[in-house]
């Protein structure tokens, strides 16, 4: 369900004509990461999926897919942890005020 929400947000970005924004790229990463490691997609299936969804060249898509192949679940794990990371950053921002540096 969570991945479907990302895909919907990504499609809305594309439909608005704003190009492949962060939501669309994130949705495609989740789909491709899951496809490769859960559904045993071939490398070419993942490259085609990325290129079709984002409008990237096959060469550029292949470079990104290589990362997903050798770092299993990296993006999926990050997205699952992102709400907790954001919550912790908000807490620290409130505690430190102007001293907070979100670039760390």
Query: Does residue 62 belong to any structural domain of this protein?
Result: yes
Query: Does residue 65 belong to any structural domain of this protein?
Result: yes
Q: Is 8 left (phi over 0), alpha (psi -120 to 50) or beta?
A: alpha
Query: Does residue 7 belong to any structural domain of this protein?
Result: yes
Range of the domain at 50: 2-77
- How far apart CA 28 and CA 53 sit, in angstroms, is 7
Each residue of 41-51: pLDDT tens digit?
999 999 998 88
pLDDT at residue 20 in the model: 61
On average, the pLDDT of the chain sits at 77
Q: What percent of the chain has pLDDT over 70?
A: 77
Each residue of 72-97: pLDDT tens digit?
777 778 778 888 888 988 998 899 88
Query: Does residue 103 belong to any structural domain of this protein?
Result: no
Q: What percent of the chain has pLDDT over 90?
A: 9
Query: Does residue 42 belong to any structural domain of this protein?
Result: yes
- The H-or-E segment that residue 51 falls in is helix 43-54
- Considering its fold, how many domains does the chain have in total? 1
Q: What's the burial of 46, exposed, middle or buried (CB within 10 Å: 0-12/13-18/19+)?
A: buried
Which range, of 5-14, 36-45, 73-82, averages the lowest pLDDT?
Answer: 5-14
Neighbours of 42 (CB within 10 A): 10
pLDDT at residue 18 in the model: 53
């Amino acid at each position: 369900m969570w991945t479907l929400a990302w895909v919907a947000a990504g499609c809305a970005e594309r439909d608005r004509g704003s190009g492949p924004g962060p939501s669309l790229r994130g949705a495609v990463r989740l789909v491709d990461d899951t496809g490769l490691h859960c559904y045993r997609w071939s490398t070419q299936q993942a490259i085609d999926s990325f290129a079709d969804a984002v409008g990237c060249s096959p060469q550029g898509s292949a470079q990104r897919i290589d990362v997903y192949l050798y770092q299993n679940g990296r993006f999926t794990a990050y997205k699952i942890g992102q709400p907790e990371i954001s919550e912790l950053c908000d807490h620290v921002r409130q505690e430190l005020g102007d001293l907070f540096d979100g670039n760390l």
